[in-house]
Amino acid sequence: MKTTLSLLALASAFGTAAHAEDKTLTISVYSFAQDEYKEALYDPFEAICGCDLVVETGNSVERMAKIEANAADPVIDMAVISTQDALALARKGLIQPLDGAKLSNFDKLYDSAKDPIGDHMAVGYTFYASSIVYRSDLVDIQSWGDLLGEDLAGQVALPNITTTQGPLTLMMLGKAEGVEGDLSPVISEIGAHSDDIVTFFSRSSELVQLMNQQEVIAAPVGRFAWGSFRDAGLPFAWAEPEEGQAGGMNVMVMTKGNGNEELAYQFMDYWLSTEVQTKIGEMLIDSPANKEVELSAEAAENLTYGADVIESLNIMPAAEVLDKREGWVEQWNAEVIQ
Question: pLDDT of 106-118, one tens digit each?
Answer: 999 999 999 999 9
Measured CA to CA, the distance from residue 139 to residue 124 in angstroms comes to 35
Domain boundaries, the chain: 2-127+248-315, 129-247+316-335
Measured CA to CA, the distance from residue 201 to residue 165 in angstroms comes to 10
Q: Are strands 52-57 and 287-288 parallel, antiparallel or unpaired?
A: unpaired
pLDDT attached to residue 164: 85
**In terms of C-beta density within 10 A (0-12 exposed, 13-18 middle, 19 or more buried), how is residue 9 classed?**
middle
Measured CA to CA, the distance from residue 58 to residue 82 in angstroms comes to 14
pLDDT attached to residue 67: 97
Q: What is the dihedral of CA 128, 245, 203, 217, to 10 degrees?
A: -140
Q: What is the DSSP string of 287-312?
A: EE-BTT----HHHHHHS--SHHHHHH
Q: Around Cβ 19, how many Cβ atoms within 10 Å?
A: 13
- In this prediction, residues 48-70 reach a mean pLDDT of 94
User: Candidates 3.20.20.210, 3.30.499.10, 1.10.1740.10, 3.40.190.10; correct CATH number of 2-127+248-315?
Assistant: 3.40.190.10
Measured CA to CA, the distance from residue 207 to residue 288 in angstroms comes to 25
Name the percent of the chain lying above pLDDT 70.
93
pLDDT tens-digit profile of 242-253?
999 999 999 999
**In terms of C-beta density within 10 A (0-12 exposed, 13-18 middle, 19 or more buried), how is residue 252 classed?**
buried
Angle ∠(282,288,292) on CA atoms, nearest 5: 95
- In this prediction, residues 78-100 reach a mean pLDDT of 97
pLDDT attached to residue 54: 97
Measured CA to CA, the distance from residue 76 to residue 287 in angstroms comes to 25
pLDDT attached to residue 21: 52
- In this prediction, residues 12-29 reach a mean pLDDT of 64
- In this prediction, residues 232-241 reach a mean pLDDT of 94
The mean of the pLDDT values for the chain is 91
SS3 221: strand
Measured CA to CA, the distance from residue 286 to residue 291 in angstroms comes to 14
**Greater confidence, 202 or 107?**
107
**Greater confidence, 300 or 9?**
300
Q: Around Cβ 154, how many Cβ atoms within 10 Å?
A: 12
The model's confidence at residue 23, banded by pLDDT at 50, 70 and 90, is very high
pTM comes to 0.85
CATH class of the structural domain 129-247+316-335: alpha beta
User: Same CATH fold, 129-247+316-335 and 2-127+248-315?
Assistant: yes
Name the percent of the chain lying above pLDDT 90.
82
The answer to whether the Cα torsion of 117, 100, 281, 6 is positive or negative is negative
Closest CA to 194 of 186, 182, 204, 203: 186
Contacts of 316 (CB under 8 A, 6+ apart): 167, 168, 171, 246, 248
pLDDT tens-digit profile of 257-296?
999 999 999 999 999 999 999 999 999 999 999 999 999 9
Is pLDDT of 20 > 60? no
Name 132's bridge partners. 220
pLDDT attached to residue 254: 98
pLDDT tens-digit profile of 206-215?
898 899 999 9
Q: Please give the backbone phi and psi of residue 109, each rounded to the nearest 5 degrees, phi first.
A: -75, 150
Is pLDDT of 302 > 50? yes
The model's confidence at residue 227, banded by pLDDT at 50, 70 and 90, is confident
Is pLDDT of 8 > 50? no
Of the chain, the end-to-end C-alpha distance in Å amounts to 42
